[in-house]
Amino acid sequence: MSSRLDALNQWVLDVARLTRPDAIHWCDGSDTENDALIARMQADGTLIKLNERTHPDSWLHRSHPDDVARVEHLTFVCTSEQDDAGPNNHWMSPVDGHAQMDALFDGCMVGRTLYVIPYCMGPIDSPLSRCGVEITDSPYVVANMRIMTRMGAAALARIEREGSFVKGLHSTGELDPDRRFIMHFPDELTIKSYGSGYGGNALLGKKCHALRIASHQARKEGWLAEHMLILGLENPQGQTHYIAAAFPSACGKTNLAMLIPPEGYREAGWRVWTIGDDICWMRPGEDGRLYAINPEAGFFGVAPGTSEKSNPNALATIQHDAIFTNVGVTADNQPWWEGIDNGQQPATDWRGEPYDPAMRPAAHPNARFTVSAKQCPSYSPMAEDPQGVPISAIVFGGRRASLVPLVFEARDWTHGVLVGASMGSETTAAAAGQVGVMRRDPMAMKPFCGYNFADYFAHWLSFDRDGAKLPKVFHVNWFRKGSDGKFLWPGFGDNLRVLEWIVGRVEGTAGAVDTPIGLQPTEGDINLGGLDLGEEARSLLFGFDRAGWQAELESIGSYLEDYGPRIPVALMEEQARIAKSIG
């Protein structure tokens, strides 16, 4: 290998000296390599073959029962100054972080193979893409990273050209919850993860690199690394607007990214194109607009709730060449989860035990599928465009059972940043901890921002400069409930009705009324044809609760003050302006 790879070679040798593996394997991403890894995992039970007739080339993986979700309380950002990590992150000094992790890594790969995974986040030839190398002792991680990133020889060639890469070191260790940590060293572009084989804890290209480290890179380099889907909305005239939307995990990003329009819209010629379902990197273009790529090459989606009704495109995507993690299986070895609604019944649960609904669900609530994005029927060829796609609108949203209306538009960029910074959502099973608790989750980045949120908000505000042609900003809430506790909005494909209004606002053709919280549609501004919305639903989805919003703005002000003197003055002034207008 060339001298440009000396740093990489030396790092691999240093890690091998510390972890003491039996063998070192440099991954090239080839089919031959993947077939050999799959065969090895099938032989040792890491992967279980699913029904070849119904789900060809698909596999089941069962993780350790104590290793099933993100572990935010064990995830650290290691900066020299604690204030740089901010109150939104758990902090440890780099010296202490390295010492703690290296003690865990000492000898941890004895009897195992060390895999070196060169990968590229984003199209291999895109100036917006960034490369990394993950070292792991998990062949399951290799198989997943092959799907989720551009992994192998082409990525290594780009690393050789550029000479820079994010370093990720991972070991499953003993899968002991008391010896499980994920450490990020932003200034060193380094990640160390020990003790977990689960998803984002182990696939270091995903949240660790693409959000926590990339958000740090983005701030230094003048772009944004965001927890957002990207979709293209094509109208009957053949024009496509691209929308980026930030929702917390398990709040419908994948469903929206793969949305199939209602029948009337389909017949009229509307279509949704999928660019990405989870992560968005945006950079200002020469024309002042924001251009975005999806840095991932696959989907790591939540399986429970995925059905022909909720997301037919996702269901079609995962019919072949997929890895399922912690789902149940039927008697004839088909994957099964709660909400699939396919007439099948589970025989075995996600722990590999006979299914007993009194004991546990068939699939873990955070069960996942890993699959290539190119298998999605709505996948857009523009996802491979090295320049990215121009973003017309940014949408924020979370799970709010009360108060927040169906949709509203921010008045300007500063207001939009406040809307994103203050968004709240009820917690889901994607993270360890209690489910259903309302918490602030700015830009859906609470678990993922690699530095102080106050500085992150200031970075967002900095894009509003001379010559900028920034996207309009919106907030949606599909999860408003009525007095009977049921959802008021039908959701799923009918969310296109809201997207149509959003694009209409971008084009200047859709109406809205001015309220203290922003510009809201009236019932007549959104196409509700064919929907059976009762009086309560219409009142709450399109209404404005003055007393409720007074309390909300007070809560937002207190939340922002928690960040101390670093919080941008412009954000506090915007909060005060809205609070005053509510009265």
Taking only the tens place, the pLDDT of each residue in 55-82 is: 999 999 999 999 998 888 999 999 999 9
Distance of CA 82 to the CA centre of its chain: 26
pTM of the model: 0.96
Tell me which DSSP letter residue 187 carries. Answer: G
Long-range contacts of 257-260 (CB under 8 A, 24+ apart): 257/229, 257/230, 257/231, 258/311, 258/313, 258/314, 258/317, 258/376, 258/378, 259/231, 259/313, 259/378, 259/492, 259/493, 259/495, 259/496, 259/499, 260/312, 260/313, 260/378, 260/493
pLDDT reported for residue 266:
97
Interval 14-39 mean pLDDT:
98
Q: Is 287 annotated as a binding residue?
A: no
Q: How confident is the model at residue 4 (pLDDT cuts 50, 70, 90)?
A: confident
Residue 235, classified by CB atoms within 10 Å of its CB into exposed (0-12), middle (13-18) or buried (19+), is middle
Taking alpha carbons only, the member of 454, 448, 423, 450 closest to residue 438 is 423
Taking alpha carbons only, the member of 79, 99, 148 closest to residue 119 is 148
Handedness of CA 448, 450, 452, 456 (dihedral sign): negative
Q: CB–CB of 335/50 below 8 Å?
A: yes
Selected catalytic residue, list 251, 280, 376, 449: 251
Q: Is 360 annotated as a binding residue?
A: no
Residue 78: active-site member? no
Residue 573 CA to residue 554 CA, distance in Å, equals 13
Domains of the chain: 3-46+72-222 (3.40.449.10), 226-297+380-582 (3.90.228.20), 299-375 (2.170.8.10)
Taking alpha carbons only, the member of 41, 30, 68 closest to residue 303 is 68
Interval 1-20 mean pLDDT:
91
pLDDT reported for residue 69:
83
Q: How confident is the model at residue 355 (pLDDT cuts 50, 70, 90)?
A: very high
Core vs surface per residue 194-225: b (16+ CB within 10 A) or e: bbbbbbbbbbbbbbbbbbbbbbbbbbeeebbb
Query: Other C-beta atoms within 10 Å of 123: how many?
Result: 20
Q: Is 178 annotated as a binding residue?
A: no
Whether 114 shows a pLDDT value over 90: the answer reads yes
Q: Is 150 annotated as a binding residue?
A: no
